[in-house]
Chain A
């Protein structure tokens, strides 16, 4: 491993499957110890990108390097220094928790005890089930075991493809606390997610759509570049409020955000947006609504960017 190299470098990677272009001229670099998030709708090409960077798929054109090694020519070297957790559960269901860990350690010719410190925070939760078959674990436990197995050889770069899909909020929080500790010891993490509260925890986020990289930005930078005015709207009849909001001319978009709706007001509107929307709602028979001005979240940015 060479520390002078960027952990991941992608230069104009494209990938086509027959007529379908899955990736188009993707270029980016990551820093050492960076938590690099990849977000985008289904079919954006996230998994294809992961599979190319982990040497499981060869790009049609362009080049990519992991720790300075070429994904095409040096795939054997790369495989030794990366950890990969694919989107689908990839462990051996018929093997026990402990057997899975030992199996992955033996493939990488390491002693599981040597790197145990890396995984002990998460693996100790699996200790009571060490003899249980992996297939019989709950969703959250399976993901914790998969992460442990991906880490047992102390990889330099960790690729996690939607690691928390189907995982409950409590286990997700634990999972991300674990990632934070790995980052702190210098492991670079490339992680895709459909949860925007997780994207917020990344140093930078890459937004992909239809095989194109729309941009890379920090969560703060992403939020700062949001140029609509944003309102939160609450009331008794949330369903009607949403329909009415979408009908109001100055409202560019309106979406449900948990217990409130967020309405994006186009920057061209010069007046008092809160007053305007309150009036419009009242005029359409929706009384007692609460409208207030709010700061956008990463999810608001996502909704805006993915709509364009």
Chain B
């Protein structure tokens, strides 16, 4: 069964808002343990597609399976099996570091002792144990992002969705963040990530480039470059999503 080897399967997934087709018949797979980059211009339909995959938006037509569950019929189970983090929403600023872990662990139905031990383990790995009593609002943004990512994978989801996790982050902090992504992928978590930094696209196992609701290309960075005769994914992106230029 494909469901056992793939974290995401979509077939002709479509979302329409009135007569506007935001996502237009997209079919693709993401393998388990893969780092999958989901690229596209603003307004190409990435967020809509991601919302469907996270069980937050019902598809107009087509099929999607995430973590083995049908996104149309079993959206609640999808939500329980995934982690989600975005640049915009991450942590509760007026809660302490450990309280954020406690809250999200509780929401995902983890037992108290499980939450406590996972929290300690993760904070120690981050070298952040001494800050467990600190209010999140007083932390530097780079740290908040690392914590938000840890909270998103606290319940050991099989797949984590990262929506522009490094937007507005400086080059040094971006690289530190990607080390966390690699570590998560090594531990077997599938990573589905959107980014506007094209150097980050090169760090993915495979990337897709969306344009006007469709997937214009999908392959490993190396193969994409070869196919389009480019030296970087950035050039491929400009070729496919450029349009006016």
Binds B, one of A165-173, A211-219, A279-287: A165-173
Once A194-B169, A194-B171 are accepted as A-B contacts, the answer to whether A141 and B202 lie under 8 Å apart by CB is no
Smallest Cβ-Cβ distance to A137: which chain B residue: B43
**A139: interface (CB < 8 Å):** yes
Binds B, one of A151-159, A222-230, A300-308: A300-308
**B126: interface (CB < 8 Å):** no
**A258: interface (CB < 8 Å):** yes
Query: Does B172 lie within 8 Å of A140, measured CB to CB?
Result: no
Binds B, one of A21-29, A37-45, A77-85, A108-116: A37-45
Cross-interface CB contact of A165 among B168, B198, B225, cutoff 8 Å: B168
**B243: interface (CB < 8 Å):** yes
Residues of A within 8 A of B202 (CB): 258-259
**B36: interface (CB < 8 Å):** no
**B109: interface (CB < 8 Å):** no
Q: Which parts of A258-281 form the interface with B (CB within 8 Å)?
A: 258-259
How many residues on the A side are at the interface (Cβ–Cβ under 8 A)? 35
**B199: interface (CB < 8 Å):** yes
Complex Cα distance A168/B41, Å? 5
B236 to chain A, nearest CB (A): 10
Q: 1/0 per residue A154-186: CB within 8 Å of B?
A: 000000001001111111111000000000000
Query: Does B142 lie within 8 Å of A42, measured CB to CB?
Result: yes
Complex Cα distance A302/B173, Å? 11
Residues of A within 8 A of B178 (CB): 256
Q: Which parts of B205-245 form the interface with A (CB within 8 Å)?
A: 221-222, 225, 232-234, 237-238, 241-245
**A103: interface (CB < 8 Å):** no
Once A194-B169, A194-B171, A256-B178 are accepted as A-B contacts, the answer to whether A169 and B196 lie under 8 Å apart by CB is yes
**A299: interface (CB < 8 Å):** yes
Residues of A within 8 A of B40 (CB): 168
**A87: interface (CB < 8 Å):** yes
**A75: interface (CB < 8 Å):** no
Once A303-B172, A306-B172 are accepted as A-B contacts, the answer to whether A169 and B198 lie under 8 Å apart by CB is yes
**B140: interface (CB < 8 Å):** yes
Once A171-B41, A258-B232, A259-B232 are accepted as A-B contacts, the answer to whether A165 and B167 lie under 8 Å apart by CB is yes
Query: Does B170 lie within 8 Å of A39, measured CB to CB?
Result: yes
**A92: interface (CB < 8 Å):** no
- Contact sample, A vs B, 14 pairs, CB 8 Å cutoff: A139-B43, A140-B41, A141-B43, A165-B167, A165-B168, A166-B42, A168-B196, A170-B245, A171-B42, A194-B174, A258-B199, A302-B172, A303-B171, A306-B170
